[in-house]
Structure 1
Amino acid sequence: MCDICGEQGTQSQCPTCRERDGQGRAFPMDRNNWTIGGLFEVSWAAFKREWVMLTVCALLFLMGVMLGGAVSEVLKLVGEKMGGAASVVFILLGTVLSWVVQGVAIMGMMRVCLDVIQGQRADVGRLFSQVNKVGAYVVSNLLAVAIFLPIILLCFAVMVGAFVAVAGISVSDLSSVSDVKQLMEMTQASVLLVAVGLCVLIVAVPSIWIGMPLALVSVALADTENPKVIDTIRKCFGYVKGQRLSMFGAAFLATLILMVSVFLCCLPVIPAMGFFYLLFAGLYLSLSRGEQRES
């Protein structure tokens, strides 16, 4: 193929074959016809075609995420040594810098997966193609914190109330608890189990409900040439409208695969991570294409 038909070497098939196979820009699913089974089938076919380079990209992505975490921890330790207001400044600086490093890695990985799920080759160079969107990624994280924080605080207050009501422990006694063993000594095991289960449910349900559209923001940023943060978040909330249950099912199965790979001597986790993000890219394309969505 010439460079035009091969899109500068990123395509493994000519335009006619891509159209015949339902690959290329003609992603076969949208929000009107997608299913969990169909999503896994399309993602697996794309993964088998590019699994070697996807594994390489996943390894580099993992290194980027670890680097971002290391930067945050180092600055946190420096802040603790200095103490006072400097501690807060260094913790915030470490958090922002880790977001910068991890944002490049996450959006780069999503860009590669978006290419592959649409029939293109996994280009390692695309991992570093999202540097110009780091500012938007950091701002989106700050907005996500602003959205989540009041919800988490409210859920925590309700959780404490539920725990006090079920377990029969006063708030003052609960605040003095230092570990789980002490908590178990203060109440019966069955009552404690019910209380903990209820508290997890109180926190998990709203967190998952709100977190689903926010989980799409990084891939939406990678898929947009010049993204506007508020508009991107608004669109992501529109994408999941009426699709939360199916989205949760697909995300749960993908996470389960990733967890199983961890238990298999950890080595398979790297290719499994490539498949996980490829599946997530396909989920985003399925939800973002189709009928017009209300804001």
Structure 2
Amino acid sequence: MAEPAPFPLSRTDWRFDALWALCWEAFRREWLLLSLGMLLLAAIGPVFGLVEGLVSGALGFAAGEGGMAVAGVLVLLATPFILVIQGVMQLGVHRVSWAVLRGGTATFPDFLGQWRKILSYVVLSVLGFLVALATVLYAAFLNTLIPMFMTLAVSLERAGLGWLGMLTAGGLSLVVILLSGYSLFRMMFLLSVAMLELACNDAAGPLVAFRNARVITRGQLRWFLLFCLISVPLLLLGALMLGVGVLPALALDHLLLVGLYLTLRNGVDLGTHEKASDALREVASGSEV
């Protein structure tokens, strides 16, 4: 496939309606293959799970208790494999959407060509899990403060300052909820862009992809929130079309996310991180020689 053209939108000068128009035009051109990619991505997990269940059941039926033990080990080993397969296919969907938005044509070689990044995907997934865990624990800690605020409100009410207690508890609880929501959405945005960076930037390993994602998403959370607000009615509309519109709606929704990533990436200064990555690769190649 020919090298795709540069993406026309930049974070320094763009409008969301221009991004929507660009994504819609690309979707109209390649909607069938994009929807097929979503179908494969959605079906791979259940298909592997069905095969895993059939094999495990056959082993358990044929060999009794020993077969059940083997079947349990098989399930334990197969589950991470299935998750990795789904993840690599997700990278393929990212790559295809990246090519389509830059004027290229969606092809199955692009979809399947991300297998070479399987190790990078695993490393980035582990890093993402740790970041998600830390974010969830932070949000959970903040939410434990709300009962304390309620206790404070009760104490103030007993002292004849009920209005002050309600105002204080309500205000502090609202701050906690907003901080928790911000942390969770920031984490989702960061990890989504990190996976997109890994799929679309062949020069980026997992750590560089994560660092680049931090730079790309800094100060841009409002656009991710707008994307989420648009995604909900879009997917509902697809579901209302007798279910047949779900896959095209998912494809368009994903195309919009990739377009947002490309827009925010275009015009941001990633030179420091990319030069550091190049230097590491040169050192590694020198040590091999």
* Alignment TM-score, normalising by the size of structure 1: 0.70
Aligned length: 244
Q: Which aligned pairs between 1:1-295 and structure 2 lie closer than 5 A?
A: 7=2, 24-67=4-47, 93=77, 96-163=80-147, 165-166=149-150, 201=178, 203-292=180-269
Name the SS for the 2:186 alignment partner: helix
Q: Deviations over 1:219-268 (max 9, x none)?
A: 11111224311111000010011211123212431343123322432210
Q: Structure 2: where are the runs of 5+ without partners?
A: 60-64, 153-170, 274-289
In structure 2, relative to structure 1, the CA distance for the partners of 1:114 and 1:75 (3 Å cut) is farther
In structure 2, relative to structure 1, the CA distance for the partners of 1:26 and 1:198 (3 Å cut) is closer
**Which residue type is aligned with residue 93 of structure 2?**
M
Larger radius of gyration: 2
In structure 2, relative to structure 1, the CA distance for the partners of 1:243 and 1:270 (3 Å cut) is same
In structure 2, relative to structure 1, the CA distance for the partners of 1:281 and 1:139 (3 Å cut) is same
Stretches of 4+ aligned residues off by more than 3 angstroms:
65-78, 88-95, 163-168, 196-203
**Which residue type is aligned with residue 9 of structure 2?**
M
Shift of 1:137: 1.1
* Alignment TM-score, normalising by the size of structure 2: 0.71
Distance in 1 between residues matched to 2:48 and 2:119, nearest whole Å: 15
In structure 2, relative to structure 1, the CA distance for the partners of 1:95 and 1:230 (3 Å cut) is farther
Q: Structure 1: where are the runs of 5+ without partners?
A: 1-5, 12-23, 169-193
Identity of aligned residues (%): 23
In structure 2, relative to structure 1, the CA distance for the partners of 1:96 and 1:76 (3 Å cut) is farther
- Whether the aligned pair in 2 keeps the contact of 1:36 and 1:249 (CA below 8 Å) is no
Name the SS for the 1:242 alignment partner: coil
- Cα RMSD (Å): 3.7
Name the SS for the 1:225 alignment partner: coil
- Whether the aligned pair in 2 keeps the contact of 1:68 and 1:102 (CA below 8 Å) is no
Distance in 2 between residues matched to 1:167 and 1:75, nearest whole Å: 56
Instruction: Determine the structure 1 residue equivalent to 2:284.
Output: none
- Whether the aligned pair in 2 keeps the contact of 1:136 and 1:227 (CA below 8 Å) is no
- Whether the aligned pair in 2 keeps the contact of 1:163 and 1:199 (CA below 8 Å) is no
Distance in 1 between residues matched to 2:212 and 2:115, nearest whole Å: 22
Name the SS for the 2:14 alignment partner: coil
Distance in 1 between residues matched to 2:208 and 2:55, nearest whole Å: 33
**Which residue type is aligned with residue 21 of structure 2?**
E
- Whether the aligned pair in 2 keeps the contact of 1:255 and 1:276 (CA below 8 Å) is no
Distance in 1 between residues matched to 2:134 and 2:21, nearest whole Å: 39
